Structure 1
Amino acid sequence: MTTDLELLPRVKLGEWPTPLQEARQLSERLGTRILVKREDLSGLGGGGNKARKLEFHLGRAIAEQATHIITTGAAQSNHAHLTAAAARKLGLQVHLVLNGQSDLPRTSGNLLLDQILQAEITFVEPPISQSNQPYMNDKMREIAQDIAIEGGKAFIIPEGGTDALGTLGYIVALQELGSQLEQLDPNVSRVLVAVAAGTCGTFAGLISGAILTSFPFKIDILGVSISGKTEIKKERTVQLVNESLELAGSSAAVTTDHIWIEDRFIGEGYAKMTKEGSEALRITAQSEGIFLDPVYTGKAMAALINKGRSGELSDYDAVVFMHTGGLPLLFHYGSE
C-alpha cells in the first residue's frame, strides 16, 4: 500500500508488528476461531493502541519544533498516560488537562503512572453551564499560550488522539494485520475485526485501512460502543474515515450506512463497569491468560462473547479481537 502516509512525518514509538495470537480455549467457547491482536503489547508505557496514533501526532510535533505536548482526557485516561510516556521518550515536556477534582487519589491506575512520569497535571471541572470537551479544549489553548509566553512551543493533541492525523495509525495497523492473516492462513475468506469504540479514532482507522488495503479476503469492522449515543458515534466515525482517507491521498468516501456499531453493552455509561464486561474480563483471563480492562476491552469482549454464543460469528473464518490495552485501569477498579 503506497499512499501519502509515507510522506508524513512520523516517529517510532512502539514495537511493530504487535503479535496476533490464537485464542484456542476462547475459540472453543464461542464456536469460531478467535485471534487476539495484542496492541496492549505495543511497547510504550503501559501499552495500548494510542502508541500508533501518537507516532503521527508527535512526528508532526517534532517537525514543528514543539517543546511541550498538551493533551486531555478523563482522570484515568489511557491516552493521557501514553502521551506522557511518548513525550518523555522523545525528551519533550508534557502537560495533561484531566477532567476531575484536584484532590483525586493519585496512587492507582494511570494516574500513578502519570505521577511517575512527572507529567504536569491540571485537573478541571467544567462549569455546569458548559459542555465538557469544548471547555477542556479552551483550557489546553490557555496553557499553550502560557507556554508560548515563557518561550516554549506547545503542540496540542485532542482527546483520545482522535483526529484525522491520529486515525492514520490504524490504517497502518490494518495493513499489518492483513499481512499477518495472509501468513497465518492463506485459505481465510472472511474476517471480522472487533474493537472498542470510544472516541472512534481506532475504529475509523481500521475502516479506512480496510478500504485502502487489498487482501484476498473480506474484512468487516465492528465497533463496540463503550459510551454515548450511537448516531453521534456513526457521524463522528464517518467524518474521521473520510478525512483520514483524504489525508492518505484517497478519493474514497463512506456514509453512515457503512458503519457497524454494537451498542448493547454500554451499561450506565463511560467508565462504568457492567456485569457482562466483568464476566468477559474473567473469561478471557481464565481462558487465555490475557487481561482486559473494565472501560473498553471488557465491554468489547462482552459483545463478542454474546455474538459467539448466539451463533452470529459462524459466517466468519476468523474473528480478530483488537486488544487496545488499558491494563493499568484494572488496578484502579480493583475494589469493584
Structure 2
Amino acid sequence: MRTNVSRIVAATFALAAFVGVAGCSADINTSADQATAQGGDSSPPATEAPSNADGAAVGTATATRWYLAFDQHDATVHAVRGNQDVVKAKISGGGGPCESNSVTVSPDGKRVAWIGDADELKGAGSLFVEATDGSGKKTVDTGVLCLGAAALVWKGGDLLAASKDGRQIAYDLAKGAAAPIADPEQLQAASADGSWKASKFNDQRLVTNGQQSHVYSYQPPAADAEHYSGWAARGVSADGRYVAVGWLGTDPSRKWDTFAVVDTATSKAVTLPGSGTVLFAANGQALVRGDGRIVVLDAQLRQVAAIAEGDAVKDMRLLAYVG
C-alpha cells in the first residue's frame, strides 16, 4: 500500500503544471474505515450531511443556471436566471451522436466545447470551443474521441481534458497549448474552480490540489453495480472533500447522472437533503437536481435554497451553475 501511494503521489506532482498549484510535501489521508457492502445488496454505510440548527432555509437562488437542450438537428445552450431563459448558443448538427455525447459548458459559464465533424466509425472528430454567446469558434484539435461516459472533462474554465490516440490530453484553452496526461493517471473530474481534481491511477483513486491529497475508495450497492461496468468521479467539491460519483455503462454513451456523494476523508457515502444528480458549483455550493426542483446546498452540504424548475427546462440537462 505504501509503495502504491508513493507512486501515486510522485505521478501527481509530475503533473503539477496541469494542477496549477506548486508542488510541496503531500498530506496523504488514507482512511482505514473504508466502505464495504453490507449483506451483498445493501448500500454502504452513509454519513449524515451537516444540517442547520433551525433546519434548512428555502430561498431564491440568484445564480445563472446553464442548460443544454437538443432537438432533432441542433443543440442549444440556455442561460436561465430567475424566470428569464435566454438561448446563448446554437450548435448546428448538435443532435448528432458525437455532438450529443460531448457538448458541455465550462464551470464558469464562459465557454462551450463539443466534438463534431465526426468519423462515426472511429467515434472521433474535431474538438471545437466557442464563447457561450456563440462567438469565437475555434478548432482545438482533430481525431478526438467522442465516446465514453465523459468524453470532455473541465478543470476550471480554461483547462479541458479529452482523449486522443489512446491517451488523455490536457488542453489549455487560454494559452492554446496541449500536453498529454502522464500514464497511468485518468483524470475523471475536477472542482469547478479547477483547484482540485479527482483521478484514477490503476486501482487507486485520488483527490488532490497539488499540496494535499486524499486516497479514497467506495463500494457501491451490489444490486445496482451488477448492471454497470464500474463507477467514476463526476464532480469534486470546492474544498476537495466530497466527490460525486456516477456509473460507467456497458455501452460507450454519455452518462450524465450521479448516484452518490462520497466523503473522501471516510470513503463513505453522505446522506444529502433531497435526492437526484449532484453538481458542484464554482461558488462553493452544491446542487441536487431531481423531482422537478433543485436543492441548493452550501459548502457544508446544508440546504440554503430550493428552486422549482418549470416545464421549459425539465427535459434539459443542467451543465453549470454560476453566480
Same fold (TM over 0.5): no
* Larger relative helix fraction: 1
Bin the TM-score by the shorter chain: under 0.3
TM-score normalised according to structure 1 size? 0.27
* Larger relative strand fraction: 2
TM-score normalised according to structure 2 size? 0.28
